[in-house]
Amino acid sequence: MKKLLYTFLLSLMIIVLFSNCKSKSEIIRLSSIDQLDIYRQNVVFDQELSCSDVLSYIPDDNLFQKQVRINVQFMNSEDSLHGFNEEKGRWYMKFLIHNANKRLRGNQKMNLPEGNDTPVLAPKYQYVITSIDDDDGYFWNYDDELCYFVNKGRHRNNYDKEVIEKYEIGGDSIINIFVMPHHKDSLNSKSYKTHGTGIALGNSLKIAGLVEDKEKPWAYATLLNHEIGHIFGLRHTWAYNDGCDDTPKNPNCWQETKNRKGCEGPISNNLMDYNNSQMAISPCQLGTVHKRLTMKNSKYRKFVKEDWCHLDTSRQINIIESVNWFGERDATSDIHIMDGATLTVHCRLSIPPNGEIVIHPGGKLQINEAATIHNDCDLTWKGIRLLKKGGQQGELIISQSAVIEDISQI
Ligand SMILES: [Zn+2]
């Protein structure tokens, strides 16, 4: 009872009357840890999915579009006869990357399993060419020893990382895409196919077949998406358990073929199979990617441009129903919890610098025991605002062990 009275008196002390010509409402601004501590309760909310479950990272409408840093390393022989020239190469890869981003955004419905109702979600990641100094993110390297890609025979080197180690730039935060010619000797062999092929090695990838097909950059866009999918934790779906229930095993058919068992159709159109579409990414696959791009302890988080370190005032996240954030999350704008809605935060949540959480009358914010709300950029955020109007007030419940940090004391 005493605590309640104390809460009431303190709340009264920090009430600021806010008025404009249309309506009158009250605001309680909680911008210090002491003020927030008043809302702590000995409660634990149900957490259906853990902070590390890939399903906790399936993108939703409130997730901002992540920008993944990439650059391009063109490999050529020292006489410059076996690779792209600078003008053509820049045109080709700009086209290809633009097309790859477009294909990601155009995510299609899964063909398999037949009759599925797997949702089609916006992938919420795109590639952005990134420079380090005064370069433009496109690099040309001339090296007779390391420039070629060989995936067959005695000189096979597709798994070799030497070219990456020698030429990569900003490799811990930029995905280096090595565009390599097939070996000049391989080209003379009838059994060697120069088709598009690639391999993801650590944080970089090597792709080949493009140099031999200089007019069709779009034909290799899903090859890029596939290889970057590997870097972000996606596995082939056709033969093994890839960790996702929504990507069924399949005979890995390139196209519908009448007389080939299992390929009569429908066939997989998933990005991580070898088929002539590669246009579908399932929700679980997207969760896998975003887990790597989001978790604080993931080395892949460094590949994402830190858009959460700037407050985007052109938009706000509106919570309009009951929502659980089971995974870690970085917000790029203010969060508003509207009348009748409840947001329960279970893991790490970063609020952008000078950002805030606003709980509207009738809205509710619950911060669970393992949650941390902070600013991930060593800056501060403005805290939580409770709005009150006509006897109705925003509600806040903070579990005893939840961590709230980096609030500016206004
Ligand atoms: Zn693959």
Does residue 226 contact residue 206 with C-beta atoms inside 8 Å?
no
Å from CA of 235 to ligand 1 middle: 7
Q: Report how far residue 407's alpha carbon sits from residue 314's, in angstroms, rounded to the nearest whole number.
A: 22
Pairing mode of beta strands 372-374, 364-367:
unpaired
Which ranges of 151-270 does DSSP label H, i.e. alpha helix?
162-167, 184-188, 221-231
Q: Report how far residue 143's alpha carbon sits from residue 141's, in angstroms, rounded to the nearest whole number.
A: 6
Q: Which residue ranges form the domains of the chain, and what is each CATH number? A: 2-52+308-404 (no CATH), 64-294 (3.40.390.10)
Å from CA of 230 to ligand 1 middle: 7
Does residue 130 contact residue 70 with C-beta atoms inside 8 Å?
yes
Q: Report how far residue 273's alpha carbon sits from residue 67's, in angstroms, rounded to the nearest whole number.
A: 24
Å from CA of 106 to ligand 1 middle: 20
Å from CA of 42 to ligand 1 middle: 48
Å from CA of 250 to ligand 1 middle: 15
Does residue 303 contact residue 202 with C-beta atoms inside 8 Å?
no
Q: Report how far residue 307's alpha carbon sits from residue 314's, in angstroms, rounded to the nearest whole number.
A: 13
Dihedral over alpha carbons 298, 299, 304, 305 (to 10 degrees): 110
Å from CA of 258 to ligand 1 middle: 25
Å from CA of 125 to ligand 1 middle: 19
Å from CA of 234 to ligand 1 middle: 9
Å from CA of 227 to ligand 1 middle: 6
Å from CA of 144 to ligand 1 middle: 27
Å from CA of 231 to ligand 1 middle: 10
Q: Tokens 């309506």 identify what position?
A: 23
Å from CA of 222 to ligand 1 middle: 11
Contacts of 150 (CB under 8 A, 6+ apart): 156, 157, 158, 182, 183, 186
* pTM exceeds cut of 0.85: yes
Taking only the tens of pLDDT, the chain with its 410 residues reads 455 555 544 454 444 333 344 456 778 889 888 899 999 999 999 999 999 999 999 999 999 999 999 999 999 999 999 999 999 999 999 999 999 999 999 999 999 999 999 999 999 999 999 999 889 999 999 999 999 999 888 888 989 999 999 999 999 999 999 999 998 777 777 776 778 899 999 999 999 999 999 899 999 999 999 999 999 999 999 988 999 999 999 999 999 999 888 899 899 999 999 999 999 999 999 999 999 999 999 999 999 999 999 999 999 999 999 999 999 999 999 999 999 999 999 999 999 999 999 999 999 999 999 999 999 999 999 999 999 998 899 999 999 999 999 999 76
